[in-house]
Copies of this chain bind each other. A is one copy, B any other.
Amino acid sequence: MPHRFFVTPAALKDGVVHFTDAQAHQMRDVLRMRAGQEVLALDNLGTEYRVTLREISRAVVRGEIVERRAARGEPKTKIVLYQALVKADKFEWVLQKGTEIGVTEFVPMHTTRAMANNVSKQKYARWTQILTEAAEQAGRGKIPQLQALQSFGDALGQAHTRGGATYVLWENETALDLKRALEITNAEWFHVFVGPEGGFTEQEIALAQTFGAPSVGLGPRILRTETAGMVAISAILYARGDLSHT
């Protein structure tokens, strides 16, 4: 598979792609690419362009568009992952793995047991970079969106307003499991809530129910917070046929 790069609309003009300085550096100095080689440029709107590199110099890296086509790699099923704040390395891991597997949007969330720190601009920039690199590596057609930090209650409100199926993953939920929950919905959008290391509180579970958001269990094994989301999104995409080429 050729290397993939997300580009801005302005970078695409008259059948030519001008790559950014950072991308040019990557191609020229890291990947040691040469004129004649092919890359994929993605416009982050759902179109990808096969591009043959024509000029690779100190000053500029420029390619010619040889084919335009719909980007593959975007699941039909859209998952918004509401992840309670966890330690930095785990949160970054959730962003990377979630992007590979197929999350459409991420919402960092503070909860009773994951109190609101502000998230710094530097951290958002770093998270965006992680999402971009993971999306390029995984062959996504779009970079997953990253929302601003929200409270659990606000996040529930957003999910409710946008519609679809909302599941609050909860280790104490033994009656409703994900399989049963998926069997009774034909939603295309899924809002999946994952708590912090200390879990959601009973009050939070009760609050979610007032929004029509049931708690959903993943069986008898206790999953860490960063694992629970990945298992749930893998299962949802599997169940909906989104781990398939057809």
Q: Is A123 an interface residue (CB 8 A)?
A: no
Q: Is A87 an interface residue (CB 8 A)?
A: no
Number of A interface residues, CB 8 Å?
A: 40
CB contacts (< 8 Å) of A246 on chain B: these are 177
CB contacts (< 8 Å) of A222 on chain B: these are 1, 100, 137-139
Q: How many copies does the complex hold?
A: 2
Partner of A220 from the list B73, B175, B219, B230 (CB cut-off 8 Å) is B73
Q: A178-B238, A238-B238 are in contact. Are A243 and B230 (CB under 8 A)?
A: no
Q: Is A174 an interface residue (CB 8 A)?
A: yes
Q: A219-B244, A242-B219 are in contact. Are A100 and B224 (CB under 8 A)?
A: yes
CB-contacts of A84-111 with B (<8 A):
97, 100-102
Q: How far is the CA of A11 from the CA of B220 in the complex (A)?
A: 26
Determine if A138 and B221 form an interchain contact, defined as CB atoms under 8 angstroms apart: yes
